[in-house]
Amino acid sequence: MARFKETAMQYVFLAAACVSIAAVALICVYLLGNGVPTIFEIGLPNFFGLTWKPSQDFYGIFPFIIGSIYVTAGAILVGVPIGLLCAIFLARFCPAPLYRVLNPAVRLMAGIPSIVYGFFGLMVIVPVVQQLFGTSGKGLLTASVLLGIMILPTIIGTAEPALRAVPQSYYEGALALGATHERSTFTVILPAAASGVMSGVILGVGRAIGETMAVIMIAGNQPRMPGGLLDGLRTMTSNIVLEMGYSTGLHRQALIATGVVLFVFILIINTCFSLMKRRKDA
């Protein structure tokens, strides 16, 4: 009977894995099957051009690509250092009573809906930027700060277990050689947990580049090339959400093709991080 149960569960897990793989494959087939022909129908120079005016048959998404890159890079600059230092503090420095408060708080951040983060950015971050710089407050800087906050629980939640998984003997060996607690943590524990930390960064980047609702609320949504930190911009995800509801014909197909570019964009980022991780592990 026990053998039968084990065999049955193996097939259940296999079926679940196959369904997951099939779902991803179907998404890829749908996007590529509908998006790639549209790109060639519009024409590469037009599709990757600088002008987005569907009413005049201009479908240039290059400003949206640059906007997505800038916002993601800004989120990395804000979120990765803070998230990594917070994970180190929780794993190696935080007192137990304080940890029992901070750890659930970090986990709670991961469950907050994007729209709530968007309201926070609109009501708190945007007015601060308005007061400091005398602008509308909606732009690259605001979106980068908010996305940096949004990716914190992803980075912390992945990096902290990786830091805790490093064998205690590494730390004790560093102390035996005369290193301080801080030096042992940053020169021994952190490099040993680099793979897990890198995974957290990858997940954080994936969330930053794929975020939509919060970015729509505070980025300015201007379909043009971003000129500076305080200028409004539009990302690829924002453009799809804003215009998919009323688009038809070639306009709608161009938005699907934008999804293809976004999909390829995420694959390139994940591949680059994976290569970096393999080189570091080697």
Q: What is the pLDDT of residues 75-123, one digit of tens each?
A: 999 999 999 999 999 988 888 889 899 888 888 888 888 889 999 999 9
- Pair (146, 113) in one structural domain: yes
Q: Which two tokens stand for residue 45?
A: 């120079």
pLDDT tens track for 20-32: 899 988 888 888 8
Name the more confident of 210 and 84: 84
- Pair (78, 34) in one structural domain: no
- Pair (104, 23) in one structural domain: no
User: How far apart, in whole angstroms, are the C-alpha atoms of residue 253 and residue 36?
Assistant: 10
Total domains present in the chain: 2
Measured CA to CA in angstroms, residue 64 lies from 114, 154, 162, 218 at distances of: 20, 25, 35, 15
- Pair (37, 162) in one structural domain: no
Question: Which of 2-11, 33-42, 244-253 shows the lowest mean pLDDT across its residues?
Answer: 2-11
- Pair (10, 123) in one structural domain: no
User: How far apart, in whole angstroms, are the C-alpha atoms of residue 160 and residue 197?
Assistant: 8
Q: Which residues face 173 on adjacent strands?
A: none
- Pair (29, 75) in one structural domain: no
Q: Is residue 53 part of a domain?
A: no
- Percentages helix, strand, coil for the chain (3-state, rounded to 5) are 80, 0, 20
Q: What is the pLDDT of residue 277?
A: 67
Tell me what the mean pLDDT of segment 252-270 comes to.
Answer: 86
- Pair (9, 105) in one structural domain: no
pTM of the model: 0.85
Q: What is the pLDDT of residue 22?
A: 92
Average pLDDT, the chain: 86
Q: What is the pLDDT of residue 280?
A: 61
Q: Is residue 56 part of a domain?
A: no
Tell me what the mean pLDDT of segment 243-262 comes to.
Answer: 87
What is the number of other CB atoms lying within 10 angstroms of the CB of residue 173? 13
Per-residue pLDDT band for 279 (boundaries 50, 70, 90) equals: low
Q: Is residue 55 part of a domain?
A: no
Residue 168 sits in a domain whose CATH number is: 1.10.3720.10
- Pair (115, 6) in one structural domain: no
- Pair (17, 98) in one structural domain: no
State the sign of the Cα–Cα–Cα–Cα dihedral 226, 232, 235, 241: negative
Q: What is the pLDDT of residue 41?
A: 87
Q: Is residue 8 part of a domain?
A: yes
By residue range, what is the domain housing residue 115?
62-281
Per-residue pLDDT band for 2 (boundaries 50, 70, 90) equals: low
